[in-house]
Structure 1
Amino acid sequence: MISLTSPVKTAAHNWPAALKLAALCVATVVLFAVGHLGWHLAFLVGMCVLYALPGRVFLRSGMARLWGLWPFVVLIVGWHVVIGDAAGGALIGMRMLTAVGLANLVTLTTRLSDMMGVVRKLLSPLRRFGLHPHRVELAMALVIRFTPVLALKGQALVAAWRARSPKRPGWKIVIPFAVLALDDAERVAEALRARGGVSR
């Protein structure tokens, strides 16, 4: 597992996690409430400026994490062009990039333990209904930690396929990818059991 927090320290690293998550929620609501193309272009430029403020290294790292969105943006915009709604496709594409970019910015500047602390506080009132916040907290932490790991393993599978065959991998790497994911899950489960499991 790897850390998603950026090693480049910024002023935002010292801000409370609850404040950043609340600001992210407000920004996301605004993004979906506004439907003007010009505003969304301004939001996208503003998001890029936020990445550029801490310096070139932080900007490069942040943009590299957003690069994986390009197939989805191309697909969405292309489909809207086909159906004759290019403006709508551009709006959705910019909205997606801005929303994910802002969420990634919060992740880069917030420790996972701090974010899980906010989740724990929000879920604490639900204890009386039988919900165990620490289990939800653990599940969220595992998803956040393992998503980039699985993405890297998927890229490694594609690279291995291309090194052995001129054909495109397509659906044929789905099964080995699923086996890798299940193997990782089994290893994590064994590690949790070795440490006492998820206690009540």
Structure 2
Amino acid sequence: MISLTSPVETRAHRWPAGLKLGALCLASTGLFMVRDIPILGAAAVAVLALYAAPGPAFLRAGLRSLRVVLPFVVVLLAWHAISGDMWMGLLITLRMVTLIALANLVTMTTGLEDMVDLVRRLTAPLRRLGLPTGVLEIAIPLVIRFTPVLVARAETLAEAWRARSRRRPGWRLILPLTLQALDDADHVGEALRARGGALGPQQQE
């Protein structure tokens, strides 16, 4: 398993995780309040400039990780074009892409350990109330770590399909990708049970 954190060192890597997530929340709230396409377009360009600031390697890695958004962009624009409300389609698309790009930027510049420590601090009041927070503390890093793994598996399956057929794989990859994801989940579950379960030995006591 690998992390989504970029190996290209930037100044943002040294910023506290809480500060970056707080800024992300404020930016998300602001973008949802904006209903002006030129302003949203300017925000998207500003985010692109943030990706380009650390250098071309960081920019390429960021844009490559955002490719998964393209199918949703196509579907949204096509649907609103058919329904005759292209203005709303552009508004939603610009807002969605900008928000996802900002969240991805935070993930790329925040180490997994820092993210887990932040979640542990945020859930401390729940632990004082006697609520188990171990599941949440484990689920978040697992999602972050497995996302690039599943993307890489999908690309490998697509390449294997193209090597054997001229047709586009499309929906035919859903079943093998799902089976591989379930197999990985089974192995991870066994590893967690071997280490005391999702709560961990300390929280179980």
Work out whether the TM-score is over 0.5.
yes
How far is 1:166 from its partner? 2.9
Matched, 1:109 2:109: yes
Partners of 1:12 and 1:84 lie apart in 2 by: 42
Let me know the Cα RMSD of the aligned residues. Answer: 1.4
Show the counterpart of 1:152: 152
Which is worse superposed, 184-193 or 97-106? 184-193
How far is 1:86 from its partner? 1.3
Show the counterpart of 1:181: 181
How far is 1:128 from its partner? 4.2
Show the counterpart of 2:123: 123
How far is 1:146 from its partner? 0.5
Matched, 1:80 2:77: no
How far is 1:131 from its partner? 2.4
SS of alignment partner, residue 58 of structure 1: helix
Aligned residues: 200
How far is 1:193 from its partner? 2.7
Letter in structure 2 aligned against 1:85:
D
- Deviations along 1:12-69, one digit per CA (max 9) or x if unpaired, are 1111100000000010111111111111011001000111111111111111111221
Show the counterpart of 1:40: 40
How far is 1:110 from its partner? 0.5
How far is 1:135 from its partner? 2.0
TM-score, reference length from structure 2: 0.92
Which is worse superposed, 36-45 or 65-74? 65-74
How far is 1:129 from its partner? 4.2
Partners of 1:106 and 1:117 lie apart in 2 by: 15
How far is 1:195 from its partner? 2.8
Show the counterpart of 1:59: 59
SS of alignment partner, residue 132 of structure 1: coil
TM-score, reference length from structure 1: 0.94
Partners of 1:75 and 1:68 lie apart in 2 by: 13
Structure 1, unaligned stretches of length 5 or more? Answer: none
SS of alignment partner, residue 98 of structure 2: helix
Show the counterpart of 1:71: 71
Show the counterpart of 1:15: 15
The structure-2 alpha-carbon separation of the partners of 1:30 and 1:73, relative to structure 1 and needing over 3 Å to count, comes to same
Partners of 2:164 and 2:23 lie apart in 1 by: 47
